[in-house]
């Protein structure tokens, strides 16, 4: 593993932890500069193709999903760990479905459900784009629906 500080390609593993989704976190120390850093390992499983609303198909892209969720959570008190956990849960649920193709709407609904519990402002931000809320009345209606479920 290449050190992110000095670029040396040898390190030693100090600690290893596993999470519920099968991911592995390793705490490492560079053998040259002695800086410590973490690496994450994830089992690569087959991921479904997403069927977009216009009928086109696109491979599931974890980084694209995480980027969209980060935008919704911009300047909100949501930790990077919580965002990674949400994306992990969505990815795990998609893989558990065992289907080669899944409508992209399914992923969007999973994000909406996750954000509803994570941060309600981020939920509204995501909903504005995802649901195509283009006027204040539709945004207010979505806020009212969110408040009713609490």
Q: Could you tell me the two tokens for 14? A: 């100090």
Residue length, the chain? 150
Same domain, 85 and 17: no
Q: Is 77 helix (H, G, I), strand (E, B) or coil?
A: coil
Q: Which of 11, 57, 13, 9 is nearest to 34 (CA)?
A: 11
Same domain, 75 and 31: no
Same domain, 22 and 65: no
Burial call 78-99: b when 16+ CB within 10 Å, e when fewer: beeeebbbbbbebbeebbeeee
Q: Note the pLDDT tens digit of each residue in 51-106.
A: 999 999 999 999 999 999 999 999 999 999 999 999 999 998 998 888 999 999 99
75 strand-pairing partners: none
Task: Give this prediction's pTM.
Answer: 0.69
- Host domain of residue 27: 11-41
In a domain, 3, yes or no: no
In a domain, 2, yes or no: no
In a domain, 113, yes or no: yes
Same domain, 30 and 57: no
Same domain, 68 and 116: yes
């Amino acid at each position: 593993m290449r050190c992110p500080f000095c670029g040396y390609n040898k390190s030693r593993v100090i600690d290893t932890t596993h999470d519920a989704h099968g991911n592995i976190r390793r705490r490492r120390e560079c053998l040259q500069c002695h800086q410590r850093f973490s690496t994450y390992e994830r089992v690569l499983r087959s991921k479904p193709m997403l069927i977009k609303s216009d009928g086109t198909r696109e491979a599931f892209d974890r980084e694209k999903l995480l980027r969209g969720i980060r935008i919704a959570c911009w300047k909100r008190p949501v930790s990077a760990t919580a965002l990674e956990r949400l994306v992990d849960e969505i990815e795990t649920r998609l893989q558990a479905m065992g289907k080669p193709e899944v409508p992209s709407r399914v992923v969007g609904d999973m994000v909406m459900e996750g954000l509803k519990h994570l941060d309600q402002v981020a939920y509204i931000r995501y909903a504005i784009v995802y649901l195509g809320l283009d006027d204040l009345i539709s945004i207010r209606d979505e806020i009212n629906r969110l408040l009713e479920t609490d």
